[in-house]
Amino acid sequence: MYLNTPTRDINQNQIIEWWSLKTKSIRTLMGQVTTHSINSFQMEQKLTLKDFISNIPEVFKTFQNLAPWELTTDLKEIIERIIPELGSEFKVENGVAIHKSVTVEKGVTIKRPFIAMEHCHIGANSYFREGVFLGKSVKIGPCTEVKSSLICSRTAIAHLNYIGNSIIGQNVNFEAGSIAANHYNERENKRIWITYHGESIDTGVEKFGALVGDDSKIGANGVLSPGTILTKNSIVERLELVDQQSKNIKIDPN
Give 192's contacts (C-beta < 8 A, 6+ positions apart).
69, 184, 203, 205, 206, 207, 208, 226, 227
| Residue 43 host element (H or E) | helix 35-46
The rounded distance, in Å, linking the Cα atoms of 75 and 165 is 9
Give 122's contacts (C-beta < 8 A, 6+ positions apart).
102, 103, 104, 105, 108, 116, 134, 140
Could you give the C-alpha distances from 62 to 7, 85, 209, 232, in angstroms and in order?
A: 16, 14, 22, 22
Closest CA to 170 of 75, 55, 79: 55
The rounded distance, in Å, linking the Cα atoms of 20 and 25 is 9
- In this structure, the number of other CB atoms found within 10 A of the CB of residue 118 comes to 17
Which of 99, 159, 183, 197 is catalytic? The answer is 159
Closest CA to 229 of 168, 157, 147, 158: 168
User: Pairing mode, if any, of strands 114-116 and 139-140?
Assistant: unpaired
Query: What phi and psi, each to the nearest 5 degrees, are found at residue 97?
Result: -120, 120
Give 5's contacts (C-beta < 8 A, 6+ positions apart).
none
Verify whether residue 183 is a known catalytic residue.
no
Would you name the residues annotated as active-site residues? 159
